[in-house]
Amino acid sequence: MLDINKIYQARERIKDVVVDTPLSFAPYLSHVSGCEAYLKKENLQVTGAFKIRGAYNKIATLSDAQKVCGVIAASAGNHAQGVALSASKFGIKAVIVMPESTPLTKVNGVKHYGAEVILAGTNYDEAYAYAKLYGEKNSLTFVHPFEDDEVMAGQGTLALDILDGCMDLDAVVIPVGGGGLISGMACAFKSINPKIEVIGVSAKGAPALKNSFDLKTPVDSLSVRTIADGIAVRDTSPITLGYMLDSVDKFISVDDEEIASAILFLLEKQKLVVEGAGAVGVAALLHNKLEHLKGKKVAVVLSGGNMDVTLLSVIIEKGLLKSGRKMKLTVTLIDKPGSLMRFTEILQLLNANIVHIAYDRTSISLDYGDANVTVHVETKGEEHQRAIYKTLKEENYIRD
């Protein structure tokens, strides 16, 4: 394990930079999961994620000569912002290499702190390879997002904060990408209270570290694909895997559907914007992946809140459709005056509010004189939708 003294030293270094984010009881999540759940809201941290902890601690420990030359990092966003802000605090140069698919909000967030951004590669690992070569060529110190003891020690301070707020925890649920966060936190928990169960949660679309943990040997993935871009790491770090095998009790994964539902749950029930990577722990509880925790006191880390608003709008739209609060209908009408009016009158009588309507008379699948009408309507659940469908079928708008 990491030396616990390193984590205490890191806490002292970063205390004037990081925010002591809330650890709050979550009554609705507790009710649906059966455990006593507390949310550690690192989505409210400076830069919107926990990464500032490790990045600042690492840069604070650099030599004067290294600081003069500057630093470089590779990141999908949160580590990038952490390094950029930390470098600005010390007045040193920072170059950040980000995958080409990085959401604009994260690119702009990095530039806001004065760092130079280079877009390279289709994923984190390709951006990482580019950054390593660029850093060596330009004498920049590479700040690794997880494979570094000073970075992991900084991330481990999050565990100390949680223990300050709740010493009698039974378990803690932590998002896992490269493994730096859980390695640092697990060291702190196991050093202070070994009885606390440390559980990691990754995205199924980025399975390398989960597979490696199960097999107890490093295994890389050929590719990654998940909405949780903050933990979309393709290759396994032998260093963090070693720490995890020593200190982590359980490791599970959740899929994108489960992650999306957790994002929407946190938005609606907790009034929190949490990115995919930060929502995986809540996804695990919501979808009964951790039933052994029922009746126990559990802390869940919300690791970040830098959510791409475009993706968030898609998640909300799909969530409304799945929960029966929105319905899409396409019907064929005779293209003559009054046809559309009669159709909309029926929807009005059924208390279905039209929020979007499209009229198409040119589709090659239509007979001449017909038109397709597609409507999006707000509904009040599956029972309401069945009633709408039944009435439209009786009125011959829908045919089997």
How many helices and strands in the chain, by DSSP H and E? 16, 13
- The stretch 248-264 carries a mean pLDDT of 97
* β-bridge pairing 36-41 and 23-25: antiparallel
36-50, 288-302, 329-343, 373-387 — which is least confidently predicted? 329-343
E strand residue ranges, the chain: 23-25, 36-41, 71-74, 94-98, 116-119, 141-142, 171-175, 197-203, 250-254, 297-302, 326-334, 353-360, 370-378
Phi, psi angle pair for 215, to nearest 5°: -90, -10
What residues are paired with 301 via a beta bridge? 40
Q: State the residue for tokens 């902890």.
A: 53
Does residue 364 register a pLDDT over 80?
yes
**Token output for 216:** 């107890």
Q: Residue 344: how many CB atoms within 10 A of its CB?
A: 15
Backbone dihedral angles phi then psi of residue 360, each to the nearest 5 degrees: -130, 120
d(CA 244, CA 400): 55
Active-site residue, from 40, 51, 58, 326: 51
Which of 75, 221, 261, 303 is flagged as catalytic?
A: 303
Coil, strand, or helix at residue 166?
coil
Cα–Cα distance for residue pair 319/324, rounded to 1 Å? 9
Annotated active-site residue 303? The verdict is yes
Q: What is the pLDDT of residues 54-75, one digit of tens each?
A: 999 999 999 999 999 999 999 8
In Å, how far are 43, 221, 303, 377 from 275, measured between CA atoms? 8, 23, 8, 28
Q: Could you identify the residue written with the tokens 């604009």?
A: 104
Residue 51 designated active-site:
yes
Cβ atoms of 328 and 335 within 8 Å: the answer is: no
Work out the number of other CB atoms within 10 angstroms of the CB of residue 361.
13
- Contact 54/155 with Cβ under 8 angstroms? yes
Predicted TM-score (pTM) of the model is 0.89
Domains of the chain in sequence order = 4-50+148-318 (3.40.50.1100), 52-142 (3.40.50.1100), 324-394 (3.30.70.260)
For the chain, how many residues are written?
Answer: 400
CA 299 to each of CA 12, 35, 41, 132, 307: distance values in angstroms, whole numbers, following the listed order: 23, 10, 10, 36, 22
pLDDT at site 400: 62
pLDDT at 46 exceeding the cut of 70: yes
Instruction: Give the up-direction half-sphere exposure of residue 27: CA atoms within 13 A in the CB hemisphere.
Output: 0
Q: Which residue has the tokens 């649920």?
A: 173
- Distance from C-alpha of 327 to C-alpha of 323, rounded to nearest angstrom: 10
Summarised one tens digit per residue, pLDDT across range 166-215 is 989 999 999 999 999 999 999 999 999 999 999 999 999 999 999 999 99
Q: What's the pLDDT score for residue 398?
A: 82
| Structure-block tokens of residue 55 | 């990045």
Confidence of residue 122 (pLDDT cuts 50, 70, 90): confident
